[in-house]
Structure 1
């Protein structure tokens, strides 16, 4: 039986989690509510735990493939006998994209006979200022 620890966080907070050889899931390519004027007013104050935010993020082309790849990577490590697996899911602010993917990954992996723990480091932190394209 493996222990899987999934941590979502925002790289913009500059306190990334540490672990030996984590599975790293970069969600920065996914749609981000604060960057989209069409949904900014309605979705930004919500978090990735809200179904409307999840639907918005998952509407990004490639979002489901990103989730599938992360799941397969974790399952491969379990199959190889790894007993403790850290999964670091990040975006810029840690409130929307990383939370959506971390929550869905935890739900997918919970069907296994393994222990899955999820932590959202920055879900309740203030929204960070939107980065300019040059800063990305």
Structure 2
């Protein structure tokens, strides 16, 4: 049985988790509620655990592919005999995209006969200022 630890975090907080050779999932290309005036008022104060935020993030083209790729990488490590697997899922703020993808990935991996633990490092941190396109 493998132990899978999924950690979501925001790179804008400058304290990324550490682990030897984690599977890294970059969600910065996905739709982000604080960057979208159409949903900013309704979704920004929620987190990626909320179904509306998760649906919004998953509506980004390529979101399901990102989850599938991460799942396959973890499954391959299990096949290779790894007992402890760290998965680091990041976005900029650590409240929306990374949380939604980490939760969905954990649900996908929970069908395996393995222990999956999810930790959201920055879910309760203040929303970071929106970055300009040049900063993204």
The alpha-carbon deviation at position 22 of structure 1 amounts to 0.1
Root-mean-square deviation (Å)? 0.4
Structure 2: how far apart are the matches of 1:117 and 1:86? 10
Q: Is 2:96 the partner of 1:102?
A: no
Aligned residue for 2:14?
14
Aligned residue for 1:2?
2
Structure 2: how far apart are the matches of 1:135 and 1:65? 25
Moved over 3 A (4+): none
Q: Which blocks of at least 5 consecutive residues in structure 2 are unaligned?
A: none
TM-score where L is the length of structure 2: 0.99
Q: Secondary structure at the match of 2:90?
A: strand
Q: Secondary structure at the match of 1:5?
A: strand
Q: Aligned residues, how many?
A: 136
Aligned residue for 2:53?
53
Aligned residue for 1:81?
81
Aligned residue for 1:37?
37
1:86-130 C-alpha deviation (Å, 9 max, x unpaired): 000000000000000000010111111111000000001000000
TM-score where L is the length of structure 1: 0.99
The alpha-carbon deviation at position 134 of structure 1 amounts to 1.2
Q: Is 2:134 the partner of 1:111?
A: no
Q: Which blocks of at least 5 consecutive residues in structure 1 are unaligned?
A: none
